[in-house]
A and B are shown apart, each in its own frame.
Chain A
Amino acid sequence: MSVSTAPAPATSPETHHEDTGLWSWITTVDHKRIGIMYFVTSLFFLGVGGIEALIIRLQLFSPENQLISAQVYNQLFTMHGTTMIFLVAMPQAVAFFNYIVPLQIGARDVAFPRLNALSYWIYLFGAIYLNVSWFVGAAPNTSWVGYANLTSTQFSPGLNVDFWVLGLSILGVSSIMGGVNFITTIINLRAPGMKLMRMPLFTWMTFVTSFLLVTALPVIAVALILLAFDRFFATNFFVASAGGDPVLWQHLFWIFGHPEVYILVLPAFGVISDVIPAFSRKPLFGYPVVVYAGVLIGFIGWGVWSHHMFTSGLGPIADSFFVASTMIIAIPTGVKIFNWMATMWGGAIRFTTAMMFAVGLVALFTVGGLSGIMHSSAPVDLQQHDSYFVVAHFHYVIVGGILLGMFSGVYYWFPKVTGRLLDEKLGKLHFWSTIIGFNLTFFPMHFSGMYGMPRRTWTYRAELNVEIYNQLSTVGAFFLGASTLLLLWNIWKSLKSGEKAGHNPWGAPTLEWSIPSPPHHYNFPALPEVRSREPLWNDDERAAIEAVTLHEPATEPEMPNPSFWPIVVAFGITITWALVMTGIWWVPLLGLAFTALGVYAWAFEDPFKKKAAH
């Protein structure tokens, strides 16, 4: 029917003014708005987690400091880790998935727009629930890995661990649904001609990450359920005196935990795999190799988990296996590093802020990777385990890798999202202050660790001779914190009076740069046809695509309706979990009944407007 109506002359051009009120945000199912909400929320929690880190650093500034109590210190480092991983790094990546992936593959939205909204609201409510613990004076205090049997009711009788167990379970639901959504979107909503091996690397890494989400999150979900049963219904899963094994918690946690590391880092790899070619004016060197390396990392990532457990006494056979697999997984990662460098080799490089952050990632992640290879060896790890050396290692990986990758993405895609460029001068200041602050904070930790300073410990004695390193770290941390304010200032300034960006300010090759900045709510007036990996770098292909994507249609494409039900269901799910805290088995069922009503209302709601045409 629609072929014949292509010119669509009779219908009046719907000058559709998008709603911008609060209600329109609450009920939105637009992937771009959801992406923005993810971004803003995760930025807020970056501030929260950052302040927690700064208080930790103040406490460690001098030996035997009494600034905060050991109890508060335990809560701070636990919430710092939990917040940065589950409320900042993951959602920040999801923010980019949301905004960028549909644009890169030529889709109008994700496959399940309402489910997408549900994922966001669950994340928000779960994050709030987790942080409510501060206000009742019982923030989680058993570290982000929550090892049994410290988390048992015997050793942690308060509400602290309850908040942690239930809060993380809520967030897990959000991540699994997000994973399903993005897998389906990438499989099913690619524009004509966008074959898998033509997809931009960021989309590819989103694809791999989504598989890790849907496979790794159920494992931690079950581990948390078992722990919750131990706590609320007195079961024996991790109770040694009843035949349970606390080490099983470590297995389950790290079977999830190691893939989780790749869940965090692969999106950042994806960002810079798009940024580096764009600013080197050269296609990514060895595209298929980078793709396969990413898939391989995701897969091997399942067979290395016990390298976190060398000190738990698995015996020489198991240890040897996990040493070998861990060393092997360094290979595909190293391959990627060389691919990025080879892409820059001989390219017409433009050192924009986005590019500088991307290159910074390559350098700093390599440092973190090298210290990682050191403790992939079990005997070496026995020396470094739970010391500040490990803290230095994973901050080089997580801050040096993920945060820099995300900053790179912010500078790269900000013009697409807002239609305005970020200030490059401020950007470069932000970059250099981040690099200086970062290295000042974390490089000395290698030394304090080597001198024997244990992590997760409230204070240290002067005789350990690590005061100077701690003072450097503390100064660096404040420097790093201040540098992040530069980004906020830059965003604020650009939103008000930034230089207008055209639809493709960087001359980048991928599809998201073929549509206006900011995009229309329907993204693509009609679906473009893709014929290569860098469609906008081939003149005739670009012309054909832009004729479609920049064309203002007489009638706007039909988009899904806003829906109220995602936020209702998200509230129901959060309440159900929260009510488990009562410890009375039937009380959560009330929340479940509420959720079920929301699900029914949702199922029978027509996602598209009932226009008479049908």
Chain B
Amino acid sequence: MSTQAEHGHGDHGSHASVKFYWMIGGILAALTALEVAAYYMELGAIEVPLLLILSAAKFVLVVGFFMHLKFDSRVFTGVFVAGLVLAVFMVSALILLYHWVPGFTSVAAGSA
């Protein structure tokens, strides 16, 4: 009975081989190199969005493949993303309030 369930998650290795992990590691290293390159090239207006996209890509790769979220149950994605979404929302909202919304007069914004 319960052995059936245990067999169920026994076949872990099949979708992600060692080679695959090395490949992801390589991509991560390359993306980091790109980030630093973008930093030194001073690309102006596109620099910040580019850096954000690159780091988001690294984030997704680690979470999806190293943490197996891509292959694992949706339940894990659910409980993780619930927190992640709220965190992203909060950070964005506070950055918006302090650095973008006009009429917000505080010490921090005043000197920014």
Contacts and interface: CB of A to CB of B under 8 A. Distances in A.
A and B touch in the complex (CB under 8 A): yes
B108 A243 contact: yes
Chain A interface secondary structure, helix, strand, loop or mixed? Answer: helix
Nearest to B100: A317
B90 A2 contact: no
Contacts, number: 51
Interface in A228-256: 240, 243-245, 247-248, 251, 255
Nearest to B78: A187
A247 B89 CA distance: 19
A302 B89 contact: yes
B108 A302 contact: no
B90 A302 contact: yes
Given A3-B1, A251-B94, A315 B86 contact: no
Contact of B83 (A187, A215, A243, A316): A215
A315 B102 contact: yes
Contacts of B97: 251, 314, 318
Interface residues of B, number: 21
A183 interface: yes
B56 interface: no
A388 B1 CA distance: 63
B39 to A, nearest CB: 25
Contacts of A315: 101-105
Given A251-B94, A302-B90, A317 B83 contact: no
Contacts of A243: 107-108, 111
Contacts of B103: 314-318
B106 A317 contact: no
A214 B108 contact: no
12 contacts: A2-B1, A2-B2, A243-B108, A243-B111, A244-B107, A244-B108, A245-B108, A251-B97, A303-B93, A314-B104, A315-B104, A316-B103
Given A315-B105, A318-B101, 11 more contacts: A2-B1, A3-B1, A245-B106, A251-B97, A303-B93, A314-B101, A315-B101, A315-B102, A316-B103, A317-B102, A318-B104
Interface of B: 1-2, 75, 79, 82-83, 86, 89-90, 93-94, 97, 101-108, 111
Interface of A: 2-3, 183, 187, 211, 214-215, 219, 240, 243-245, 247-248, 251, 255, 302-303, 313-318
